[in-house]
């Protein structure tokens, strides 16, 4: 910072430096507010202050956005229909009246800054938020046309499976980890032989089969982090769910393991609807077909990945995807 | 490792583990006193512990003969004729087994309820403080309570009965039940702490697979805290083995294991007996047996048992730490 010939750390220079930075920032801010609706084509991304409590302003009027959203209904059959969903923890509203639909054969990425409600939204889709004391929900979530609150929680969660941020295999063997997902759904405990084809199939679909085929009896905790996460995916898809929810599945992994999982997501999309929460915009760009941008509990933008990243309709979305805040 | 780096950087200097520290002379007087006091207290305790172990080991090895471990005690006027202590060893094993079998399910179930359900919360608090009270109760009080409880006519099937049908209130079942109260707090505490240390996403992972809470507890959480439970059980076992008051009051402290009837198992469980601790007490100069050599030999065996158990606890504790770090790298 204090370059040039100035002695580092002397009181005067640091004060001057701070003033300079301040002036520079104010200049940039005023520039940004001049071109508040600035085109995306502008070379330098505008710097703007984010006022946390201010209502975000959509650029296009709501009816127009609705029309665009309707035109998006494509891909496979619709699996989940979320309408006017709000989630609150005590007095705090985490998700505010969000509506979107989730289709088979596509990956929906939920993006947005920390605390914007994307994880809350995700956890409401398989009713995990219910486990948090003081949580409440309004609005409607339909799974294949049935309200998820009419479905028994255990049945719902085997149809809408979930993978977590932290790889969390259970303290048992690799085989049993996957078999556990299948076992207790049946009243009568099935034998190992009967489960074996399903377990191997799940491991194969999760791209883990060849690496662990010889070690199925070994404790799952011996696997590497990336393998553990793929085991968790195998476990989640073993019961052939319709929707797979992923809560930042790669944030605890190294780049290579992340790449493997992203490829896997591409594959899984063929017979599943995937919803992925991610902080990593590059990842959202790589894996997502549709992107939903959330901010302070509001769904600001929802559209195809191309639209959201290349031609966002809301200024807030544009600032976020360009890395101005986050 | 840092030493090699140091030699590489500063040539000609001896590798040192620490940099220069302030000399004791520059300290305040209070600090100097506390510092020396801490050293003295630590060393003093070590010396006392070592003294007990060495003294018992010398005396024990002096008097202990392998035959004592397999021969029954005899009522005799001379030490030479008083036999070995097979019955107390068997009594210790049986009593420990009963105590653990009773305490284990009870304490695990309580810990699971407190951590996983815990509603209503006032009741959970009451249960937790009740267990703390049990943990803090002197064993002699538990023994007196046990005697009063098992002397009730209602409890006749569980204990030895006298000639006229009077309930004696002393038996392996009665003593085992009271011993389970002594073993319960450590097992409960270890299990509860283990469960509380299981991260929330582990439970949610099971719920997210469509598992019920009870299936999650049975198949994920209990296996996960198995090492904690083992630590608790070992601590509980060493408390049972080391207890004397309950043995003397509720087990009877008889020389031999006296079966109550000819019924194979029940007769034994309703019968009375003794353990190594009560044997040591009886044969020490304070007791009636007047066989101090036997007391030393038995005390040595007891000491070895307790030391072994402590080693097992340490081992389990380390194993546990290993699996936990293994899970989170």
**pLDDT (tens digit, 9 = 90+) per residue, B269-308?**
888 889 999 999 988 888 777 788 888 899 999 999 888 8
Q: What is the pLDDT of residue B14?
A: 63
Name the residue among B202, B204, B209 with its Cβ closest to that of A181. B209
Check CB contact under 8 Å for B210 and A171: no
Give the pLDDT band (50/70/90) at residue B258. Answer: confident
Q: Is A243 on the interface with B (CB under 8 A)?
A: no
Give the pLDDT band (50/70/90) at residue B267. Answer: confident
On the question of pLDDT at A231 being above 90, the answer is yes
Length of chain A: 326
On the question of pLDDT at A44 being above 80, the answer is no
Task: Spell out which residues of chain B touch residue A124, defining contact as CB-CB under 8 Å.
Answer: none
CA-based torsion, A270, A276, A282, A283: positive or negative? negative
C-alpha distance from B176 to closest chain A C-alpha (Å): 33
On the question of pLDDT at A16 being above 50, the answer is no
In the DSSP assignment, the letter for residue A47 is P
Question: Taking all residues of chain B, what is their mean pLDDT, rounded to a whole number?
Answer: 85
Q: What is the pLDDT of residue B232?
A: 93
Higher pLDDT among residues A130 and A31, named by residue: A130
Q: Which of these ranges, B99-113, B180-194, B225-239, has the smallest mean pLDDT?
A: B225-239
Q: Is B223 on the interface with A (CB under 8 A)?
A: yes
Give the pLDDT band (50/70/90) at residue A64. Answer: low
Q: Is A313 on the interface with B (CB under 8 A)?
A: no
Name the residue among B206, B208, B219 with its Cβ closest to that of A161. B208
On the question of pLDDT at A14 being above 50, the answer is no
Pair B314, B77: CB distance under 8 Å: no
Question: Region A58-67: what's the mean pLDDT?
Answer: 50
Higher pLDDT among residues A324 and B187, named by residue: B187
The residues near B147 (Cβ < 8 Å, ≥ 6 apart) are B169, B170, B174, B249, B250
B256 vs A246: CA distance, rounded Å = 66
Q: Give the chain A residue whose CA is nearest to the CA of B225.
A: A171
Q: Is A180 on the interface with B (CB under 8 A)?
A: yes
Check CB contact under 8 Å for B207 and A157: yes
Check CB contact under 8 Å for A157 and B210: yes
Name the residue among B204, B219, B220 with its Cβ closest to that of A128. B204
Q: Give the chain B residue whose CA is nearest to the CA of A127.
A: B208
Percentage of chain A surpassing pLDDT 70? 75
Question: Region A37-42: what's the mean pLDDT?
Answer: 44
Which class for A228: exposed (0-12), middle (13-18), buried (19 or more C-beta within 10 A)? buried
**pLDDT (tens digit, 9 = 90+) per residue, B130-150?**
999 999 999 999 999 999 998
Residue to mutate among B200, B204, B209, with most A CBs inside 10 A, is B209
Q: What is the pLDDT of residue B328?
A: 35
Percentage of chain B surpassing pLDDT 70? 89
Question: Region B203-220: what's the mean pLDDT?
Answer: 90
Three-state DSSP class for residue B293: helix
Check CB contact under 8 Å for B220 and A131: no
Question: Taking all residues of chain A, what is their mean pLDDT, rounded to a whole number?
Answer: 80
Instruction: Kindly write down the DSSP assignment for every residue of A112-160, as one continuous string.
Output: -STTSSHHHHHHHHTT-GGGSTTEEEEEEEEETTEEGGGS-HHHHHHHE
In the block, tokens 């049993």 appear at A176
Q: What is the pLDDT of residue A253?
A: 87
Check CB contact under 8 Å for B223 and A170: yes
C-alpha distance from A306 to closest chain B C-alpha (Å): 31
Check CB contact under 8 Å for A239 and B210: yes
Ranges A59-73, B44-58, B159-173, most confident: B44-58
Pair B203, B216: CB distance under 8 Å: yes
On the question of pLDDT at B1 being above 80, the answer is no
Name the residue among B202, B211, B323 with its Cβ closest to that of A168. B202
On the question of pLDDT at A326 being above 60, the answer is yes
On the question of pLDDT at A33 being above 80, the answer is no
Best CA proximity match to B117, nearest among B12, B216, B240: B216
Q: What is the pLDDT of residue B191?
A: 95
Name the residue among A157, A165, A172 with its Cβ closest to that of B208. A157
Q: Is A151 on the interface with B (CB under 8 A)?
A: no
């Amino acid at each position: 910072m204090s370059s040039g010939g100035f002695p580092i750390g002397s009181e005067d220079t640091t004060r001057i430096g701070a003033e300079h930075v301040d002036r520079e920032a104010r200049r940039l801010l005023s520039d940004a507010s001049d071109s508040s609706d600035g085109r995306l084509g502008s070379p330098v991304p505008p710097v703007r202050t984010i006022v946390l409590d201010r209502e975000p302003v959509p650029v296009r009027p709501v009816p127009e956005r609705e029309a665009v959203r309707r035109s998006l209904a494509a891909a496979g059959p619709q699996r989940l229909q979320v309408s006017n969903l709000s989630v609150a923890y005590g007095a705090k509203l985490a998700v505010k009246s969000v509506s979107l639909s989730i289709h088979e054969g596509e990956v929906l990425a939920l993006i947005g800054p920390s605390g914007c409600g994307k994880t809350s939204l995700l956890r409401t889709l398989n009713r995990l938020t219910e486990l948090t004391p003081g949580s409440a929900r309004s609005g409607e979530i339909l799974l294949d046309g049935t309200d998820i609150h009419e479905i028994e929680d255990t049945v719902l969660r085997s149809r809408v499976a979930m993978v977590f941020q932290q790889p969390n295999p259970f303290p048992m063997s690799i085989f049993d980890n996957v078999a556990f997902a299948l076992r207790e759904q049946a009243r009568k405990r099935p034998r190992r032989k009967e489960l074996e084809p399903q377990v191997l199939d799940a491991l194969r679909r999760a791209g883990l089969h060849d690496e662990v085929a010889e070690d199925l009896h070994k404790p799952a905790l011996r696997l590497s982090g990336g393998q553990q996460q793929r085991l968790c995916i195998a476990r989640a898809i073993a019961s052939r769910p319709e929707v797979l929810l992923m809560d930042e599945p790669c944030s605890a992994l190294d780049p290579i393991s992340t790449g493997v999982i992203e490829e896997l997501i591409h594959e899984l999309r063929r017979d599943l609807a995937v919803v992925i929460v991610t902080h990593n915009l590059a990842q959202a760009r790589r894996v997502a077909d549709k992107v939903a941008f959330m901010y302070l509990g509001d769904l600001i933008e929802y559209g195809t990945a191309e639209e959201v990243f290349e031609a966002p309709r809301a200024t807030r979305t544009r600032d976020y995807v360009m890395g101005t805040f986050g | 490792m840092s030493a090699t780096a140091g030699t590489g950087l500063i040539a000609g200097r001896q590798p040192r583990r620490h940099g220069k520290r302030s000399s004791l002379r520059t300290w305040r007087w209070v600090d100097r006193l506390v510092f020396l006091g801490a050293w003295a207290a630590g060393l003093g305790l070590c010396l006392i512990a070592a003294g007990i172990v060495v003294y018992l080991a010398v005396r024990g090895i002096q008097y202990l003969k392998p035959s004592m471990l397999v021969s029954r005690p005899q009522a005799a006027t001379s030490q030479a004729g008083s036999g070995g202590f097979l019955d107390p060893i068997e009594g210790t094993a049986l009593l420990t087994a009963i105590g653990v079998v009773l305490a284990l399910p009870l304490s695990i179930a309580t810990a699971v309820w407190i951590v996983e359900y815990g509603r209503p919360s006032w009741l959970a608090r009451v249960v937790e403080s009740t267990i703390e009270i049990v943990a803090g109760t002197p064993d002699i009080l538990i023994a007196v309570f046990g005697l009063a409880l098992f002397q009730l006519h209602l409890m006749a099937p569980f204990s030895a009965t006298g000639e006229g049908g009077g309930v004696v209130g002393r038996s392996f079942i009665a003593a085992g039940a009271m011993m389970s109260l002594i073993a319960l707090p450590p097992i409960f505490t270890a299990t509860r702490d283990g469960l509380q240390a299981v991260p929330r996403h582990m439970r949610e992972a099971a719920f997210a697979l469509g598992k019920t809470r009870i299936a999650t507890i049975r198949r994920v959480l209990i296996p996960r805290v198995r090492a904690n439970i083992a630590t608790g059980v070992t601590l509980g076992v060493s408390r049972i083995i080391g207890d004397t008051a309950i043995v003397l009051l509720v087990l009877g402290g008889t020389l031999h294991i006296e079966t109550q009837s000819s019924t194979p198992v029940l007769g034994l469980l309703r019968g009375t007996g003794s353990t190594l601790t009560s044997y040591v007490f009886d044969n020490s100069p304070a007791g009636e047996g007047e066989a101090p050599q036997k007391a030393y030999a038995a005390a040595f065996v007891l000491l070895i048992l307790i030391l072994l158990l402590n080693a097992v606890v340490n081992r389990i504790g380390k194993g546990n730490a290993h699996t936990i770090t293994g899970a989170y790298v």
